[in-house]
Amino acid sequence: APEHVSALMRDGCDAVHAHDPRALCVVGPAPYYKVFNFDERILLDRENVLYTFDFFVPWALVTADTGKGDTATFPGTFPCGD
């Protein structure tokens, strides 16, 4: 559940910061840091927190699963949502 993941991240950051308050704590949404799972539940009321997420768009550029991976180029122009 998202609440459990958020609690784990909060507790983990607190444990790290107890040893070094200057340390950077890196957190992100579950599962697999997907951007569409990033919402206010991820935000921690803590200092020195870096939020990360995977932004695999356009999908064809980052995977060959769609069959377009061989033809996608960078830089390139891709329709939104492709």
Q: Report angle CA 3, 7, 13 to the nearest 5 degrees.
A: 145
Instruction: Report the sign of the C-alpha dihedral through residues 17, 19, 25, 29, in that order.
Output: negative
Q: Is residue 58 within 8 Å of 78, Cβ to Cβ? A: yes
Query: Is residue 22 very low, low, confident or very high in pLDDT (cuts 50, 70, 90)?
Result: very high
Which residue, 76, 56, 73, 74, is CA-closest to 65?
56
Better pLDDT: 81 or 82? 81
pTM of this prediction exceeds 0.85: no
Instruction: Provide mean pLDDT across the span 6-34.
Output: 91
Q: pLDDT value at position 62?
A: 67
Give the model's confidence band at 30: pLDDT under 50 very low, under 70 low, under 90 confident, else very high.
confident
SS3 54: strand
Query: 47-66 burial, b if ≥16 CB within 10 A, otherwise e?
Result: eebeeebeeeebebbeeeee
- Ranges 17-21, 29-33, 42-46, 48-52: which has the least confidence: 29-33
Q: What pLDDT sits at residue 47?
A: 92
Residue recorded with tokens 């909060």: 10
